[in-house]
Amino acid sequence: MTHLVLLGDVVDMWRRDASGVFLENRDTFDKIFALCDKGVKVSYVAGNHDYHVLRLQNHSYQFVFQSELSLPDDENKVSYRFVHGYQFDLEQQEAWMEGLCRLMSDQAGEFESGLWAELTRGWSNPKYVLYEMFESWKKQSMRKMADRVQQQPEARFGGVNQHLLDEINKRACASVGRDEVLIFGHTHVPFVNKSENVANCGSWVKDASTGDTYVELTNGKPHLFTFPRKEITERKEC
């Protein structure tokens, strides 16, 4: 393996303190850094739950955070396109994905409010009250939205809402260009289509119906495996 592409949601930054999230997942990142030290090139494509990594600046990580990635395979005359997959899910919007990542914690919210109060001490009371009402509404809306999604992560993609899953897959397959192979994730349901130009790498969450999966690209085609190395040869319509 010479190039490892991480397709997002490596960490869950929704309503969490960013530094704490990375510390909790230190073992995972230590393993990634070890691969970098061995000469493996690593690319990190942001997902909807870690979308905020695209805003990180002056970091010391050994890889670049990006929204999507294209890699040409001149030998096999194809181009590989990597995206997380939230782009095909109409319920996911970048503005609130970023907002949920930035809504770090209750303590951070209290600090922000206190700082604003000091900065606007000279404002009239009505203006300050209106601001506080708006901030309260915004945070409550964000929390309700996060609760709705996080309470049913597998319900949306595990068969309860098969129509939504099918629509996401259809949009993904429809986006594939000529001589292109698309690799995405997001839905937690791995597959390779019959044309072998679209692959979903699945998920490593504990309660995934088919977990610990990954895609390997060889000879211009995607191959789906469960870890450590059992190939899934079934193909599906897309």
Q: Render pLDDT for 118-161 as a digit per residue (tens, 0 to 9).
A: 555 555 555 555 555 655 655 665 566 555 555 554 455 554 47
- Residue scoring higher pLDDT (139 or 66): 66
Q: Domain holding 216: CATH number?
A: 3.60.21.10
State the DSSP code for 6.
E
Half-sphere exposure (Cβ direction) of 101: Cα atoms closer than 13 Å: 24
In percent, the amount of the chain with pLDDT more than 70 equals: 75
| Between 2 and 108, the higher pLDDT residue | 2
Mean pLDDT (the chain, rounded)? 83
Question: What's the domain range around 130?
Answer: 105-150
E-strand ranges in 123-189 read 180-184
37 and 141, same domain (yes or no): no
The number of domains in the chain is: 2
- My answer on whether 146 and 183 are in the same domain is no
* Structure confidence at residue 114 as a pLDDT band (50, 70, 90): low
Q: What is the pTM of this model?
A: 0.77
Q: How confident is the model at residue 1 (pLDDT cuts 50, 70, 90)?
A: low
Q: Are residues 168 and 87 in the same domain?
A: yes
- Provide φ and ψ at 84, rounded to 5°: -65, -45
Same domain, 144 and 161: no
Give the lowest-confidence range in 41-55, 139-153, 194-208, 217-231: 139-153
| Selected residue with higher pLDDT from 204 and 99 | 204
List the Cα angle 42/204/213 in 5-degree steps: 75
pLDDT at residue 179, rounded to an integer: 97
Q: What is the mean pLDDT of residues 204-230?
A: 92
pLDDT at position 119, please?
52
- The reply to whether 191 falls in a domain is yes
Q: Are residues 54 and 123 in the same domain?
A: no
